[in-house]
Homo-oligomer: A and B are copies of this chain.
Amino acid sequence: MEHKLRMSPEQVLAEAVSAVARARGYTDDVEFSPEDASRSDFDFMCDVLQAAVDNGAGTLNIPDTVGYATPVEWAERIRSIRKRVSGDYVLSTHCHNDLGLAVANSLAAIQAGARQVECTVNGIGERAGNAAMEEIVMAIRTRPDTFSDVETSIRTEELARSSRMVSRLTGYPVQFNKAVVGRNAFAHEAGIHQHGVLNERTTYEIMDPSDVGQGESKIVLGKHSGRAAFKDTLSKLGMTIQGDALNAAFTRFKELADRKVQLTDADLEALVAEEMGDRVMATYSLISLEVRSGSTTTPSADLVIRVEGEECAVSATGDGMVDASCTAIKKATGIVGRLTDYNVMSVTGGVDALADVVLSFESSDGVKVSGRGLAADVVEASARAFISALNKIARVRRTGEDPNAVDRPGHLG
């Protein structure tokens, strides 16, 4: 309090009261949240919480801002708040994962009476992240004996797909051994376990993979599929696109299908996600890219790119072909800065899968953006990702909007 807010306890209390009262002027649904509840003075915090309820807060959200709590003490804290603070409110928990305990602490809070859980898909969030939604949901569902008085209305069979989408949009890979949504979460490697599963599934599986959407991919479309089949398949996957977006996605689909025989639903998800991401007005667009490299050749790239309507041909060399391509793109656009992150995922696994590249770029004037690109070839995918990032920079410069609003997920507490 003294380090961060530079206010006395009385000032903090008064501010809390007036903020809640003011919020109630706009809505009946006011949530109040005292930061760092795991290390705060408990008595004072309860006074503030009581004042918030008395002035109209309907939800009290208790955050373990630095991920410091352990399950037993977190449950105890939630239980004590319920006892101490009277009134009609929902208790909420918001846990961070710095010690790897965010999910366990959230579940402990539920057992202690919390009825709102602040959590995120894949557990993304500040530092080591927040509690992973999919793990909490599946713990409640898998252990009805332990969580007998609560349920979620989450459609669990969408968990795996939601996880893939969030991973793709943020550029944060999901580790293979991530609970519930990791790609190995249901893989039995050890022979002794495989034997057990073949005899009786419940020997080693407490969840059914299809319950979380980790079933077999229902394969789908090939190079001979038409626009109607394409649109129909997308809508079965829950993706509705029309008009120009549909045309653009279909064109990219045909290009990719010409190289790959079949596209799985994961491929299609990735494709549509990329097209949707690029619906911002594009200042730059890729016309063609030719690259070559070799043990005895310097990696080089010949690029044709449309810059504000005009085609521009540039060539460059680099440490590798990705570096050469990006250097050529920098030359053509005149944007200076550095790549701060670069990540390739194969959409479906295997070397003939589509490469899904996510990268982060920081321009010399401090604008941070990310870009994604999808292609059968990893270098082309990288160039597409870089161009998509630079389009965001161009948008910031054109519109003068807040650079941090362009490409940053909201702060999660």
- Using CB atoms and an 8 Å cutoff, list the residues of chain A in contact with chain B: 3-4, 36, 65-68, 70-73, 97-101, 103-105, 107-108, 111, 122-129, 132, 135-136, 138-139, 142-143, 146, 172-180, 182, 184-193, 195-196, 199-200, 203-207, 259-260, 286-297, 299, 302, 318-323, 326, 338-346, 349-353, 355, 359, 375-380, 382, 386, 404, 408, 411
Min CB–CB distance A83 → chain B (angstroms): 19
Given contacts A3-B199, A290-B294, A351-B386, 10 further A-B contacts (CB under 8 A): A4-B195, A70-B139, A70-B143, A101-B135, A128-B178, A128-B182, A192-B411, A259-B320, A288-B294, A291-B292
Interface-centre pick from A128, A146, A176 (highest chain B CB count, 10 A) = A128
User: How many of these chains are in the complex?
Assistant: 2
Min CB–CB distance A34 → chain B (angstroms): 14
Interface-centre pick from A68, A129, A206, A351 (highest chain B CB count, 10 A) = A351
Cβ–Cβ contact B338 & A132, under 8 A: no
Cβ–Cβ contact A126 & B189, under 8 A: yes
Nearest opposing residue in chain B for A383, CB measure: B295
- Contact with A146, one of B4, B73, B199, B352 (Cβ below 8 angstroms): B73
Cβ–Cβ contact A128 & B177, under 8 A: yes
The list of the 7 closest CB pairs from A to B, nearest first, reads A104-B104, A320-B377, A100-B135, A290-B294, A129-B177, A292-B292, A3-B200
Complex: A288 Cα to B104 Cα, angstroms = 52
Cβ–Cβ contact B99 & A101, under 8 A: no
Chain B residues near A322 (CB, 8 Å)? Answer: 351, 355, 377-378
Complex: A299 Cα to B377 Cα, angstroms = 8
- Contact with A320, one of B68, B103, B302, B378 (Cβ below 8 angstroms): B378
- Contact with A175, one of B173, B205, B359 (Cβ below 8 angstroms): B173
Take A71-B104, A139-B101 as given contacts and tell me if A319 and B66 are in contact as well, using a CB distance cutoff of 8 Å.
Answer: no
Cβ–Cβ contact B346 & A353, under 8 A: no
Cβ–Cβ contact B290 & A292, under 8 A: yes
Cβ–Cβ contact A320 & B380, under 8 A: yes
Min CB–CB distance A163 → chain B (angstroms): 11
Cβ–Cβ contact B65 & A204, under 8 A: yes
Take A4-B200, A173-B176 as given contacts and tell me if A184 and B128 are in contact as well, using a CB distance cutoff of 8 Å.
Answer: yes
15 pairs across A/B with beta carbons < 8 Å? A97-B179, A122-B175, A122-B177, A128-B185, A173-B175, A189-B408, A193-B411, A260-B319, A292-B293, A293-B379, A299-B376, A339-B349, A339-B351, A341-B346, A342-B351
Cβ–Cβ contact A288 & B296, under 8 A: yes
Cβ–Cβ contact B320 & A184, under 8 A: no
